[in-house]
């Protein structure tokens, strides 16, 4: 289960699906003698991305406060001097700092996988995906990423609702590029030593804002322009984009799908749960996935 869901009441289901489910899988692998694994990890384990203060250098701001968010103060500031911060790229060595239930479950998956590797002599890698998008994303569910939210809204003839001011920075990486990274990782992990576990950031290397993504989708779809709402979700982070050079240098991965082309394709691609004959979704509960 991905995203923030509806509210904290979803926490047991997130932990059950993501962490207990992973533990069950790893136990079955141990019994069956499977010794190689590529884990679908996530950049959410970092929490906020990298920030640099002109006075204090690289700093790690704490969680944003309700008071600041209510006042429209979305940017984190230096915890030492309060100065504005410049966002940068996060490397794999950065400390992990999950800021919501989903992020906590993704970090737990990595810890479980590392424990499995040590206990069984297996080898594993975790590909810390950025914001994956592309054909086949689920439609009309709160348990998905922002690209799915916006694409679902456009399929309903509605404007994508962009939270905060739309300037949140993310790295949107196409599902085909992620599939290629998985194929490389599965081959590479077989040659690693017993008990090994490594992590790789998996992003396009072309950071964009949420507002840019919503506008690109709406324009390519021919739907209504995005609406910037100023709303927020407390578990969201402001900026998180990562450096994926390690994956490129060590495994030879080279993403092929550019932002403009990928969004143009996604704007008209079928979504999971959409009837291909009508372009509409089957009848289901009234879950509201709008916003980010």
pLDDT score of 26 more than 70: yes
pLDDT, one tens digit per residue, over 45-73 is 999 999 999 999 999 998 999 999 999 99
The answer to the question of residue 276 being in a domain is: no
pLDDT score, position 1 = 87
pLDDT score of 263 more than 90: yes
- How confident is the model over 128-149, as a mean pLDDT? 88
Span of 1-5, 28-32, 208-212 with lowest mean pLDDT: 1-5
pLDDT score, position 140 = 83
The answer to the question of residue 131 being in a domain is: yes
Contact 174, 255 (CB under 8 A): yes
| Lookup: tokens for 128 | 């810390």
- Quote the pTM value: 0.89
C-beta neighbour count of 214 within 10 angstroms: 28
What is the distance between the alpha carbons of residues 212 and 149, in angstroms, rounded to a whole number? Answer: 15
CA distances, 194 to each of 107, 117, 123, 189, 191 (Å): 21, 7, 6, 10, 9
The answer to the question of residue 215 being in a domain is: yes
Q: What CATH number does residue 167 fall under?
A: 3.40.50.720
129 is catalytic: no
The answer to the question of residue 57 being in a domain is: no
The answer to the question of residue 209 being in a domain is: yes
- How confident is the model over 116-141, as a mean pLDDT? 94
From the list 102, 200, 232, 292, the catalytic residue is 102
Q: Binning pLDDT at 50, 70 and 90, where does residue 43 land? A: very high
Domain hosting residue 203, numbered range: 10-48+100-267
The answer to the question of residue 84 being in a domain is: no
Q: What is the domain count for the chain? A: 1
pLDDT, one tens digit per residue, over 177-197 is 999 999 999 999 988 889 999
């Amino acid at each position: 289960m991905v995203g923030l869901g509806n509210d904290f009441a979803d926490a047991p289901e997130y932990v059950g699906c993501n962490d207990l489910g992973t533990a069950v899988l790893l136990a079955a692998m141990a019994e069956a003698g499977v010794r190689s694994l590529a884990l679908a990890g996530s950049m959410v384990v970092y929490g906020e991305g990298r920030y640099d203060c002109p006075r204090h250098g690289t700093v790690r701001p704490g969680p944003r406060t309700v008071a600041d968010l209510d006042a429209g103060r979305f940017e984190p500031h230096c915890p030492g001097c309060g100065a504005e911060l410049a966002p940068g790229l996060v490397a794999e060595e950065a400390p992990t700092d999950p800021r919501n239930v989903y992020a906590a479950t993704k970090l737990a998956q990595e810890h479980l996988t590392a424990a499995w590797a040590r206990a069984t002599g297996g080898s594993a890698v975790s590909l810390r995906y950025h914001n994956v998008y592309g054909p086949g994303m689920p439609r009309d569910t709160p348990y998905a990423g922002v690209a799915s939210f916006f694409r679902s809204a456009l399929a309903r003839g509605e404007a994508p609702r962009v939270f905060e001011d739309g300037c949140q920075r993310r790295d949107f990486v196409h599902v085909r590029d992620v599939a290629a990274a998985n194929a490389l990782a599965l081959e590479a992990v077989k040659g690693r030593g017993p008990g090994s576990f490594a992590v790789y950031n998996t992003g396009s290397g072309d950071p964009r804002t949420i507002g840019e993504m919503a506008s690109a989708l709406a324009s390519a779809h021919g739907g209504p322009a995005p609406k910037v709402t100023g709303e927020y979700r407390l578990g969201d982070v402001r900026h998180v984009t990562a450096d994926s050079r390690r994956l490129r240098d060590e495994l030879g991965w080279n993403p092929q799908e550019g932002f403009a082309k990928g969004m143009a394709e996604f704007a008209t691609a079928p979504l999971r749960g959409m009837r291909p004959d009508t372009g509409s979704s089957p009848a289901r509960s009234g879950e509201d996935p709008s916003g980010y």
